[in-house]
Chains A and B, each alone.
Chain A
Amino acid sequence: MRVVLAEDLYLLREGLKQLLTAHGFDIVAAVDNGPDLLRALLDERPDVAVVDVRLPPTQTDEGLQAALAARRQVPGLPVLVLSQHVERLYARELLADGTGGVGYLLKDRVFNAEQFVDAVRRVAAGGTAMDPDVIAKLFASSDPTVGRLTPREREVLELMAEGRSNAAIGQRLFLSESAVGKHTASIFGKLGLAVSDDDNRRVLAVLAFLDARTG
């Protein structure tokens, strides 16, 4: 699996390189600034990109902007964004095109190599991987949409936002897969998402959720 890596701290970049190579990924480019990242994304068309939000030269959200720009040109280009902090604002922007293949995680999550690599693979496969902190923040705010969900449905949505499959969710919550299916159907209903077989519905559910208070 071909990976483009963007991280400006040398130590962290090398660490991520090692970690991903050890898990059988092929690092085709490792860059340390925004313009290089955009070029690498468009030239290499990797299977997945792992990108730090804040990159030189401006030390602002250059990495995020480059990722978004690349996805505008190559819809669905899988990008996993890493950051020292997570914001719903950014999560929404990443999910906004509804094509999936998006991850947004705290940098701390690389501590657990297995879970991190799992997240990278999920994103590469077109799924989502939202940091639990994003979801936790949402529950902390008094969102009317959130209010309509039962506690169990919240748990399911939280795991769904992290990008887990029904089977994985069932395992976590000690539920049968069909029970999880019922919960997800109910969540889709409450969020007003039409019934369809489209896998992207899970992405849309998360997006609708993050977007709940727009307008």
Chain B
Amino acid sequence: MTRGLHASAAGLLRGCLAIGSAVVLCVHLVLFVPGLGLGLVFLLPWPIVRMRRFTDLVRGVCGGIPRPYRDRPGLPVPEPDGRYRHDRRLYRSPFWPRQLRYLDWALGDPATWRDVGWLLTNPVVGGVLGFGPAALVVGGLAVATSGGSAWWIPVGLGLVGLGLAVAPAAARAHDAWTVRMLAPRTGLGSLKVWVGRRFFTLTRLAALGGLTVVSAALAVLAFAAFSMFAIGIVGAVPESASAVRRFTTLRRRLADEWSGVPIPTPYRPEPELPRRRPDGLYAVGDALYKTKGWTRFFQRLDWIWNDPATWRDLVWTFTDPIVGGALVLASVGAVGYGLIGLAIPGLARLARLENPPALAVLTDRPVLALLAGLALVVAGAAVAPAALRLHGRWTAVLLAPTAKARLALRVEQLTESRADATSAQAAELRRIERDLHDGAQGRLVAVGLALGAVEALIETDPAAARRLVADARESTARALAELRDLVRGVRPPVLAERGLVDAVRALALDSPVPATVSADLAGRAPEPVEAAVYFAVSEALVNAAKHAAASAVTIDFSHAAGVLTAAVADDGRGGADPARGSGLRGMRHRLSAFDGTVRVVSPAGGPTVVTLEVPCALSSPRTSTSSGRGSSSS
């Protein structure tokens, strides 16, 4: 009883809000007239901001609904030349940009228009829901006490009871409706995102479905090529296999980008032309060939024929139309059929259009057909992501390298990187030997000679002896300087003493281009990795200074998912070609020994970003170097 009374009192308050909103609406309609009617748009924000005061009040009354508005824009910040920018125009004074931003803020906020929508509808909705229960109570009392027939008394009391009973529900309904209109929007937005994503996924699935046609065509082509091979025409096999490979390479990429299933390339590397034998012939397997052209042709044939990936590709071209097609049918097909086969004809029949499209099933139950169609659409859309993922997985089954092929590939890589590492090491040792031989060793010999001479002269000619000693000292200093440079090139002292990050900081300090170093590392990488990354970063820094004409470089270290990443970014002119330039190749060689990779992104006009990645674990910090100074710059 008291609850009902309370609720009807609350309803009265809400009813008053409805009256208030009607008043505010009328006032604003008047205020909007010059703004909208005469095109004086700059008059619009003020009443909108006033209106928000009222809706804020409503939000408070209806249980503290959060405000949905965007933040008010800050003051315009001048450009370097002192002018102010708004959109694609520059202004000399901040006045207009400020006004325009204000206007954008007030008119561009969807919450503004929902406020207006609420004001338009609330006089009715709020009025009914707010005053309704109270009206029932008052009306019931009036009927009961009107004193007509005795029968009116129970009717009146019944009305009063009804009013009290519906009062809480009416207040709740009013608040829910107000929340829907005046609170920050979430529900519909996420639905929109859902629909958008599904649509995207379905489009991709449809595209994959279209590509199955290519698969089928290639399968027929390959079948023809191998049939010709059977009757002795061998030329078509490598060509058809190459075509299939190009297509499967594309599909691998799509599986990665669309389905999120990365598939490595399974093919063996193409062999190089064999060295010419002493008798002038080329050997491929057991056969000998005279000319380069034929050698290459048969080598290619041999390469493609003996690669299991060729046959797996082939099997895939035959099966993709079936398996891939089935997955596409289950999602895109369901949506398409549900929409075109059921929902639209059902709707057309309900709308009593002339010559409605035919319904295959449920011909005389259009409502049921419409519902079934919509259910199919939703179901198809719902399974689309799973279908896309499954499609990728299925592609991987045949197009990914087998365990054996992966191992073979790995062995190939390791052989190559070992060769690189050993040759790099040999070159390094050669350089050190030469430097020592030409430098420090020679100088020490000179010092020894000088000291020997001093020994002989010290009694007879002290002045000459002193001169020789001074020379010897000079030679030692030179030798030390040379050794210092040598050591720097072998294992930089700061790297040994402080580790990678501080070593790169020291490097950045000495760099001709201002460089900033930031690091987020919880420990130290293994020593050889640190050295490799250090020298690679040093190379990148040199390149930024020398080739990119950069004016600032940032170097960032991070470690995530077992991979140490160093990103060297400069603001130079870009256009670095990773294929050319020995610097980048040197970096690659250095890191390949640790399975590290170098990525260079360098569009013409810059900026260039060189990313070094090396898989490795970090040990717990041994020194205090990276703590406290972790993000300092230099």
**Chain A residues in contact with chain B, CB under 8 A?**
53-54, 58-61, 65, 83-85, 87-89, 106-108, 111, 137, 140-142, 144, 213-215
Bound form: Cα–Cα A106–B634 in Å: 23
Instruction: Knowing A88-B510, A141-B512 are in contact, say whether A61-B498 is a contact too (CB < 8 A).
Output: yes
* Minimum-distance CB pairs A-B, first 6: A61-B497, A89-B506, A60-B497, A88-B509, A85-B493, A87-B506
* Chain B stretch 475-531: residues in CB contact (< 8 A) with chain A: 476-477, 480-481, 484, 487-488, 493-494, 496-498, 502, 505-506, 509-514
B509 touches A141 (CB 8 A): yes
Q: What is the interface of chain B mostly: helix, strand, loop, or mixed?
A: helix
| B510 contact from A61, A65, A84, A141, Cβ within 8 A | A141
Q: Using A85-B493, A111-B477 as known contacts, say yes or no to A215 and B633 having CB atoms under 8 A apart.
A: yes
Q: Is B242 an interface residue (CB 8 A)?
A: no
CA distance A89 to B511 in the complex (A): 12
A87 with B494: CB separation less than 8 A: yes
| Residue in A58, A85, A111 whose beta carbon sits within 8 Å of that of B484 in the complex | A85
Residues of B within 8 A of A (CB): 473, 476-477, 480-481, 484, 487-488, 493-494, 496-498, 502, 505-506, 509-514, 622-624, 632-634
By the criterion CB–CB under 8 Å, are B496 and A85 in contact? no
Q: Which of B476, B498, B509, B512 contacts A60 (CB 8 A)?
A: B498
Contact among B484, B502, B513 for A84, CB-based, below 8 A: B484
- How many A-B residue pairs lie within 8 Å, measured between CB atoms? 64
Give the distance in Å from the alpha carbon of A97 to the alpha carbon of B505 in the complex: 20
Is A213 within 8 A of B498, CB to CB? no
**Known contacts A61-B498, A65-B624, A141-B509, then 16 further A-B pairs from the complex at CB < 8 Å, ordered by chain A residue:** A60-B623, A65-B623, A84-B480, A84-B484, A84-B493, A85-B488, A87-B509, A89-B505, A106-B480, A108-B477, A108-B480, A140-B512, A141-B510, A144-B514, A213-B509, A214-B632
**Contact with B506, one of A88, A144, A213 (Cβ below 8 angstroms):** A88
CB-CB under 8 A from A89, the residues of chain B are 494, 502, 505-506, 509, 634
A131 to chain B, nearest CB (A): 12
Is B497 a contact partner of A54 (Cβ separation < 8 A)?
yes
Residues on the B chain within 8 Å of A106, using CB: 480
Alpha-carbon distance between A54 and B497 when the two chains are bound, in angstroms: 8
Residues of B within 8 A of A214 (CB): 632-634
A contact residues around B502 at 8 Å (CB): 89
User: Residues of B contacting A140 with CB < 8 Å?
Assistant: 510, 512
**B514 and A213: CB pair below 8 A?**
yes
B513 neighbours in A (Cβ, 8 Å): 142
Can you name 10 A-B residue pairings with CB atoms under 8 Å?
A59-B496, A60-B496, A84-B493, A85-B484, A85-B487, A137-B509, A140-B510, A141-B512, A142-B512, A142-B514
A137 in complex: contacting residue of B473, B481, B510, B624, CB < 8 Å = B510
The residue on A at minimum CB distance from B493 is: A85
A111–B511 touching, CB < 8 Å: no
Please measure, in the bound complex, the distance between the C-alpha atom of A61 and the C-alpha atom of B509, giving whole angstroms. Answer: 18
Complexed CA–CA distance, A138 and B494 (Å): 17
- Is A84 a contact of B487 with CB atoms below 8 Å? yes
